[in-house]
């Protein structure tokens, strides 16, 4: 279990550091910034690379919603949920802390602002309301679980699951960044909300409820036609 939770810590650390770090440090640079497309790709690459690096040790969840969904689908044991969630939250928070140190070292630093956190209403990049955020996060997390369960099924060629999962997360970000800045991962949302200005912490509940509900829904949909 120590090795498995350490793998989850490292994987979630890399997801938050690479994905949110790209948004904080590289997305808004004048003329050469990577923009939303680059940030979307960065999140997909973090999951893909760590799935290959440590997925064989822990299963490569890096996300409490994935852990819960896999449990509902009968692919993970209930007793192991809590250790995985703790490791994921600690990994994400550690990455956010290091990003805070880096961001605050900029010459013109005047506060972290939203700090790549998730939000709705005034905190949504394009002003989407709470209902829109709730629906979008739930649906896209459900799709994410279906892709995870399908790509790791015995019916498909082995070794390609991390690619499918990484590309799925990239697509999810391309869709969802304007709505909520994309969570589909409570650990990612919690990590950045710790340091972000208001209202990130007050709105954090949605980015636990929607991804966890979506994870369960996706697992139940897959279970309806899974014959593994």
Q: 10-residue block means of pLDDT along the chain (228 residues)?
A: 97 98 92 93 98 97 98 96 98 98 92 96 98 98 97 90 98 98 98 96 98 98 81
Give the pLDDT confidence score for residue 136 in this predicted structure.
Answer: 98
Instruction: Locate the domains of the chain by residue range.
Output: 2-104+112-223
Q: Which of 152, 134, 147 is nearest to 221 (CA)?
A: 147
Give dist(CA 226, CA 214) in Å, integer. Answer: 18
Tokens of 210: 């929607």
Of 1.20.1080.10, 1.10.4160.10, 1.20.1250.20, 3.40.50.300, the CATH number of 2-104+112-223 is 1.20.1080.10
At 226 the pLDDT is: 76
Backbone φ, ψ for residue 189 (5° rounding): -65, -45
What pLDDT is attached to residue 228? 55
Predicted confidence at residue 225, as pLDDT, reads 84
Residue 23, classed as helix, strand or coil, is helix
d(C-alpha 79, C-alpha 183), whole Å: 25
Report the predicted TM-score, pTM, of the whole model to 2 decimal places: 0.96
Task: Give the per-residue pLDDT at 28.
Answer: 85
Q: What is the pLDDT of residue 155?
A: 86
């Amino acid at each position: 279990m120590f090795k498995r939770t350490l793998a989850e810590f490292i994987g979630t650390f890399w997801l938050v550091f690479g994905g949110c770090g790209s948004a904080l440090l590289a997305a808004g640079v004048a003329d050469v910034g990577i923009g939303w497309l680059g940030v979307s790709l960065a999140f997909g690459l973090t999951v893909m690379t760590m799935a290959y690096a440590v997925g064989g040790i822990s299963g490569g969840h890096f996300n409490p919603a994935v852990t819960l969904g896999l449990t509902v689908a009968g692919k993970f044991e209930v007793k192991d949920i809590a250790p995985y969630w703790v490791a994921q939250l600690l990994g994400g928070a550690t990455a956010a802390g290091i990003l805070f140190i880096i961001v605050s070292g900029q010459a013109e630093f005047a506060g972290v602002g939203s700090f790549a956190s998730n939000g709705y209403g005034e905190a949504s990049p394009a002003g989407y309301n709470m209902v829109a955020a709730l629906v979008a996060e739930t649906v896209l997390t459900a799709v994410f679980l279906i892709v995870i369960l399908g790509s790791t099924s015995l019916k498909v060629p082995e070794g390609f699951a991390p690619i499918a999962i990484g590309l799925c997360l990239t697509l999810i970000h391309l869709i969802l960044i304007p709505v909520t800045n994309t969570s589909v991962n409570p650990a990612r949302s919690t990590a950045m909300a710790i340091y972000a200005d208001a209202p990130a912490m007050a709105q954090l509940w949605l980015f636990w409820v929607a991804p966890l509900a979506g994870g369960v829904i996706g697992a139940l949909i897959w279970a309806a036609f899974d014959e593994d």
